[in-house]
Copies of this chain bind each other. A is one copy, B any other.
Amino acid sequence: MSSYSEAEKETVYRVISERRDMRHFTHEAVDPEILKKLIYAAQLAPSVGFMQPWRFIRITDSTIRDQIYDLAQAEIKLTGEQLKEKKTIYATLKLEGIKDCAEVWVAALMEGRDKYILGRRTMPEMDLASLSCAIQNIWLAARAEGIGMGWVSFFKPDDLASLLSMPADSYPAAVLCIGHVKEFYSKPLLEQAEWDSRRAIDEILYENTWGNACSIINDP
């Protein structure tokens, strides 16, 4: 485990900055060797108490994919009805690529998590944090491979769990759309659509107490 050259550090920052939440895909199949690398990247993620709560369900059955698409579309409609502002922008957004991508994977939390209390006794939701780190690993590995990924969370978890015959105490946290893309967005789609803007560093980093400016940002 040696050190990283300047060029290698740049590559790490580059993949972090070029990763995008993709909604547009081509239908071209993804090489299974790349899919294996993506799941290896997930397997190497950190997890609270080394519990490794992540499970992935690869959807190859087109009927199930269509049903997931229907769940997402229903929720996209309900969210739109509940929005109090920015309804016009919302109506223009492409919010999922479930029928367009080569691969649909459901990312879920495993069953039987209650017995894992190391780092979770007061914060049981750390299992979701671990799964999210695994998904971020997949995202970054996919970007390096030239493969796009989108995280869709437009669904009712109970409905999706039922569709996939998941155990009662497991939990589906994401529909991942994975596949080749024509090009990666230069900026997040929601930024392009002026849905919201990128927060500045001084808005997200404080010192000692909430809202207090952090000195490292103000240093020249």
Which residues of A pack against B, CB within 8 Å? 1, 3-4, 8-9, 11-19, 21, 32, 35-37, 39-46, 48-52, 54-61, 64, 75, 78-79, 82-84, 90, 95, 115, 117-123, 125-126, 128-133, 135-137, 139-141, 144-146, 151-157, 164-167, 170, 173-174, 183-184, 186, 188, 190-191, 195-196, 198-199, 201, 204-210, 214-217, 219
Contact = CB atoms under 8 A, between A and B. Distances in A.
A124 B141 CA distance: 27
Given A207-B57, A210-B170, A50 B12 contact: no
Given A4-B11, A46-B21, A83 B117 contact: yes
A40 B136 contact: no
Given A125-B125, A125-B128, A9 B156 contact: no
A46 B19 contact: yes
A9 B144 contact: yes
Given A43-B201, A139-B46, A141-B16, A57 B117 contact: no
Label chain A's interface by main secondary structure: mixed
Copies of this chain present = 2
7 contacts: A11-B12, A16-B137, A36-B216, A43-B204, A58-B214, A129-B131, A133-B135
Contact of A122 (B8, B75, B146, B196): B75
A71 to B, nearest CB: 10
A155 B122 contact: yes
B219 A32 contact: yes
B35 A18 contact: no
B13 A4 contact: no
Contacts of A207: 57-60
Contacts of A206: 55-58
Contacts of A64: 208
